[in-house]
Homo-oligomer: A and B are copies of this chain.
């Protein structure tokens, strides 16, 4: 018997179409109920229950009870791998239908677990780095002094961020842009801020993030700050 990590277990969990559909649905970052996931996967709630038990045992998802509803969240490190697998499938042409307008919209701006991904997400990340607002290695980014000023002026609660146990800011490799976008607490907070400001909204039943015309303008204006060096 071979020793070492059992990647076949992880692969087989992702490898069932029903489970894959549920995991992808959870990539939206929303908690979904067992019934909702059953519908997303096109199976009965009995079958969904069987699959959700497996995914829960493997710590791919976390359940949370609320009355008679069972909500499920995706584990963050699983989301990272799913993003990579989406990229691999796309690069190999392993798609289930032809690409369409939604495909372009997903490339432009989409939610990746809880943060902004796509070209807009990559643009944002590049901006934060080139402006020196965040610095350090991509897996352990820190906020600089000028970054603190910037985020405070943007009304991001940095104290809450520092109190949080999750990574403050880290890079997430974006399959569509082949560059990184910003994940972590800060990445999530920025996206929530764009929602709050009305710049962007998520589309129903999709990972697409849609900027309004004025929101897009404001977003680009934010990034179009004269360079400091």
Contacts and interface: CB of A to CB of B under 8 A. Distances in A.
Given A180-B138, A180-B139, A12 B10 contact: no
A9 B139 contact: no
A95 B16 contact: no
A53 interface: no
Nearest to A80: B84
A129 B139 CA distance: 14
Given A11-B20, A15-B15, A58 B97 contact: no
A14 B3 contact: no
Interface stretch (A86-94, A144-152, A216-224): A86-94
A88 B42 CA distance: 28
A113 to B, nearest CB: 15
B81 A5 contact: no
A95 B3 contact: yes
Contact of A88 (B12, B16, B77, B95): B77
Interface stretch (A62-70, A155-163, A171-179, A187-195): A171-179
Given A80-B84, A94-B58, A140-B179, A11 B6 contact: no
A1 interface: yes
A34 B203 CA distance: 48
Nearest to A57: B92
Contacts of A24: 2, 4, 7
Contact of A138 (B17, B19, B88, B171): B171
Q: Which 3 A/B pairs are nearest by Cβ-Cβ distance?
A: A11-B14, A12-B15, A11-B15
Interface of A: 1-17, 19-21, 23-24, 42, 58-59, 77-78, 80-82, 84-92, 94-97, 100, 102, 126, 129, 137-140, 171, 173, 178-180
